[in-house]
Amino acid sequence: MSFPSIHRHGYPFICLAFLCSCIGFALSSSLGVIFAMITALCAYFFRDPMRVVPMNDALVVSPADGVVTSIVEVESPLDDGKTVTRISIFLSLFDVHVNRVPVSGTVKCIEHRPGSFSSAGSGGAVNENERVRAVIESSVGGHSVVVEQIAGVLARRIVCDLETGKVAKLGSRMGIIRFGSRMNIYLPAGVPIYVAEGHTVVGGETIVASLDADIAAVHKDLTFDKV
């Protein structure tokens, strides 16, 4: 039986909890058990399983595990006057919180926007909560695809590992949001969307859209890679 790896940002939490459990057992068995459970919960939260990623740069995959809460047409967050399709995904406390690159391309910019920490599932979180926004110029079509990591009530720490000017590979790891959160992706209006509100998605694996209208005809010919 194999176990998923742990994201590197989880090790400080796990080590601290483990140290507390060792001290706890020295003082009291019940106290040690409590901290041992906290250690296990930390390891569970920061799990980082491999994902089977489709190998086609025209595809858009889910950037996170969770549930699609809305798919709407909105004004582009880039303030360029364009209308785009926004797909919002809510991550519960029990979902994998390692985020994945939704589209292959070059990272054009990364922006941290301060804000509130209201519930990530609320409507106000879309525009008001603290977030990190990355803009990726897709390798297919040269589209500006925006992906947002959004904080929540418990998610007070957003980590984005992307670097401006670097190439981001479809389905690769891009960061983590700690303890319950939300992600948005903004796609060109009119692209084929393959998910609907209420669908459960898997980060790096679930195909949510395509930047090539003809890609649906070749789904059966896709190849995959473990990332």
**pLDDT tens digit sequence for 127-153:** 667 889 999 999 999 999 999 999 865
181 catalytic, yes or no?
yes
Q: Report the alpha-carbon distance of residue 38 to residue 187 in Å, rounded.
A: 39
- pLDDT tens column, 177-214: 876 689 999 999 999 999 999 999 999 999 999 998 77
Mean pLDDT of 4-17: 88
pLDDT grade for 102, boundaries at 50, 70 and 90: very high
Position with higher pLDDT, 224 vs 170:
170
d(C-alpha 86, C-alpha 123), whole Å: 13
CB 162 within 8 A of CB 107: yes
Angle at 182 between CA 92 and CA 7, to 5 degrees: 70
Query: Which structure tokens are listed for 5?
Result: 């790896």
Active-site option among 21, 62, 181, 210: 181
- For the ranges 11-25, 70-84, 113-127, which has the lowest average pLDDT? 113-127
- pTM of the shown model: 0.85
